[in-house]
Chains A and B, each alone.
Chain A
């Protein structure tokens, strides 16, 4: 147990170092565009939601909700050896279906309505993700290619469907709002995260979505680490041949894991578009939902660990909200976006770079050491305790490294 705590702390420290690197990169941009307020700017970014008091924290939780979900989606696929770059499309498809259910299935009573809308959105994302899995399992088409194409098909498809249906509000160029019963409840959170403006209570947009996201993370954690299903999926991710040898159906594993990844992104879409205040409809825009791609950064930063993803999602939201306050320091909106993007992606990628470096170093060492002899050298990180300390060759042919 202590060993496990120590291990997770050491991997968390890797994420923290990555975040520092990201902040440093952001600071360079702050310096470049407006040196006099660079320090104040950095402080603002770091302060995140707190810039807006407790309400700002609520906003941070609100922004964190969909990216925790897409982070889970990407991280889950990583764990099973696949790269789900299609979270964006899955999110859009899931979102559209929840909007459809939310706006039209008004015969559903009260609370049931938003729950059904949420579940249908999940199902939509699931189907979209499953297509990727089916192509990969049956036709051996690389999941990245299928997923990217499905992102565009999803975005344009969603826009097409909206514009050609009764859901379209032509005046505002977005869908009609969902019925009040389909909006995700605030679950009392608005009574925690608010600010008083005179006598008027200015509540943040936070809602039960964040609780649902955290619940999903816990469920995925249990699924991956406690069940035979998770055991099979991870085995496939680590070594497809050995999984086959063990009698696991790799095709089934690929399809189900992409379906689950899609479902998680679908929930992300549902939680986004069924959220009160700023949600409730989809704007018709020709851009891929950025939450899908931020999910990649969140997953990387959280080391694909579902619990880690909760924290990395919160961090990314924290920085984003903090960045939005930068405009008060006369930073241009575009620069603000660059800074936020830079911090997020630099954090994620410095982690990736660190991993790659470690792998290269490890391989080089393994290449020499191990192959040198198979009996007794512990690789540097392994501490032998009297038993045969050994370095085993990293076998490049058999084992598939977790992507990317």
Chain B
């Protein structure tokens, strides 16, 4: 038997104006976890699209078990045993887990569904790989981590041998990430071969056997993860030495800018999403709210920014009560918001880049005159931010934002929100989906804004980010602030305990 289950040899793919993949060779061993590492735009997706049958390569060959194969479309890929967990899951929300798993490959008798057989099979698989799903739970009621397991089961149920995971950890909490790592190891142990697209080096180090690095469409190399340091992999990825950890002076907090007192926000099912939360954010400091996803962070932010009504409590910005103020009024008073869901809130995807960059200030005198938009100013503004924040797109200010990469969409939002010269900046997972280079850039910007004497409230699920940026850490658990820690003295372990709710400060 061939050592390699899938080989992509000399793959080249051109798009008008750009060579996305240049003579790339990737060999996937049977039963290994193989990481695919690269910055946004390095060509990882193009390569995986070719493997999954979404693109035809201009040159090169795909071999399965040493024999050349054609992958013309995803059905071919499926027939070859290639499955994929997409980053944004492809699940029907009001179907149960089981229904989602069998969707498209249902067993029927005389046209009637026969679920019992499928159920037995799915449950057997779920047990074998320790996925522990509830087959009858509706997708909309289960956590993101569980949804991901349903996606994994979908592949297993279709008897896929080669599993592609596209940035699977981006949406997970630290605990869920650990569990996923275990699941992936289990899968590999049972002989499944895994391609793991990621740009979080620590995770690659933790779980992958080998790692292939791409940069600007070119293969940099394939290395054994065990023999390669994180720093070396990072250097391979970005092509230069990068320093983790950014320059950050000690904070010099000034007056209180954003103050929250006894804030409660209603949640679903008669439960409070946020209850009795109080804190201050001062000029020149970054206060970070750490916690596992779904503990009331979103609702807290929505209440602060006016997207959700406040049940009780008070919010003040520079001493002025904004508890029930209109969103426009809050924005104009200097409240900036990098939202967690960039497609839902952050951008009008069908507007072009320049229109999106003035989303918060199109009504200001500099952008309009007697309610006629100053076309020249809007364009100049866009060009300045594009230059300053290195937002890359195909057609500059005229690019429809929907066609831009997630990383560049995020940069556009960060640029817009920082550029308004805010009094207080609420940043929710500001580096979600960004590669290392862009992430460091955003972090530097946040620190720079802090040093200009702005107040920053950072909501993050990633401990690395929390430790990197926070001057003070507030831990949120089930809608309450359970601890306040000093950013420099807190340890990951301590923080983890608070986040998991197993320790509480007697405040």
Contacts and interface: CB of A to CB of B under 8 A. Distances in A.
Are both chains from one complex? yes
Interface in A315-347: none
The majority secondary structure among interface residues of chain A is loop
Interface stretch (B11-19, B251-259, B493-501): B11-19
B45 A383 contact: no
Interface stretch (A110-118, A221-229, A284-292, A303-311): A221-229
Interface in A377-395: 377-379, 382-395
Given A375-B38, A376-B43, A378-B15, A238 B350 contact: yes
A187 interface: no
B351 interface: yes
Interface residues of B, number: 76
A244 B307 contact: yes
Contacts of B406: 374, 390, 392-393
Given A242-B347, A378-B394, A228 B363 contact: yes
B371 interface: yes
Interface in B393-446: 393-395, 398, 401-409, 433
Given A245-B307, A398-B341, A368 B52 contact: yes
Contacts of A160: none
Given A247-B360, A375-B45, A392 B40 contact: no
A78 to B, nearest CB: 13
Contacts of B359: 235, 242, 245-246
B54 A386 contact: no
A227 B372 contact: yes
A239 B349 contact: yes
A241 B344 CA distance: 6
A392 B400 CA distance: 10
A382 B433 CA distance: 22
Interface in A210-236: 226-229, 231, 234-235
B47 to A, nearest CB: 8
B46 interface: yes
A365 B42 CA distance: 20
A379 B403 contact: yes
Nearest to A394: B402
A128 B167 CA distance: 51
A235 B363 CA distance: 13
Contacts of B371: 227-229
A367 interface: yes
Contact of B17 (A245, A249, A374, A385): A385
Contacts of B339: 245
A97 to B, nearest CB: 29
Contacts of B74: 368
A229 B88 CA distance: 34
Interface string B132-170: 000000000000000000000000000000001011000
B128 interface: no
Contact of B348 (A229, A239, A387): A239
Nearest to B40: A375
Nearest to A245: B345
Contacts of A234: 351
Contacts of A3: 398
A365 B54 contact: yes
B503 interface: no
Contacts of A376: 20, 40-46, 405
Interface string B317-353: 0000000001111111000010101011111111100
Contact of A238 (B90, B349, B368): B349
Given A372-B166, A375-B44, A384 B405 contact: no
Contacts of A164: none
Contacts of B433: 374
A396 to B, nearest CB: 9
A234 B351 CA distance: 9
Given A235-B348, A368-B74, A392 B43 contact: no
Contact of B15 (A369, A373, A389): A389
Contact of A245 (B164, B326, B346): B346
Say which size band chain A's interface belongs to.
35 or more
Given A244-B327, A247-B327, A388 B392 contact: yes
B197 interface: yes
B355 A392 contact: no
A241 B355 CA distance: 16
A379 B404 CA distance: 10
Contacts of A368: 49, 52, 54, 74, 86
A140 interface: no
B48 interface: yes
A239 B373 CA distance: 20
A115 B45 CA distance: 61
Contacts of A227: 368, 371-373
Contacts of B331: 246-247
Contacts of A369: 45, 49, 54
Contact of A372 (B86, B326, B409): B86
A371 B367 CA distance: 36
A246 B394 contact: no
B362 interface: yes
A145 to B, nearest CB: 23
B18 A390 contact: no
Contacts of B54: 365, 368-369, 372, 377
Contacts of A382: 394, 403
A399 interface: yes
A372 B84 contact: yes
B317 to A, nearest CB: 14
B262 to A, nearest CB: 25
- Between B18, B332, B433, the greatest number of chain A beta carbons within 10 A of the residue's beta carbon is seen for B18
- Between A248, A370, A374, A387, the greatest number of chain B beta carbons within 10 A of the residue's beta carbon is seen for A374
A373 B344 contact: no
27 contacts: A3-B398, A228-B368, A238-B351, A241-B344, A242-B345, A245-B337, A245-B345, A246-B327, A246-B360, A247-B331, A368-B54, A369-B49, A371-B86, A374-B45, A374-B167, A375-B38, A375-B39, A377-B46, A379-B403, A384-B16, A384-B17, A389-B20, A390-B408, A392-B406, A392-B409, A397-B344, A399-B350
Given A376-B43, A384-B16, A384-B394, 20 more contacts: A226-B375, A227-B373, A231-B373, A247-B329, A369-B49, A371-B90, A372-B166, A374-B167, A375-B44, A376-B46, A378-B394, A382-B394, A383-B394, A387-B393, A387-B394, A388-B392, A388-B405, A389-B17, A391-B405, A395-B88
Interface of A: 3, 226-229, 231, 234-235, 238-239, 241-249, 365, 367-379, 382-395, 397-399
Question: When A and B form their complex, which 10 residue pairs have the shortest distance between CB atoms, in order from nearest?
Answer: A373-B45, A390-B405, A247-B328, A371-B86, A398-B344, A388-B41, A395-B343, A387-B392, A245-B345, A388-B392
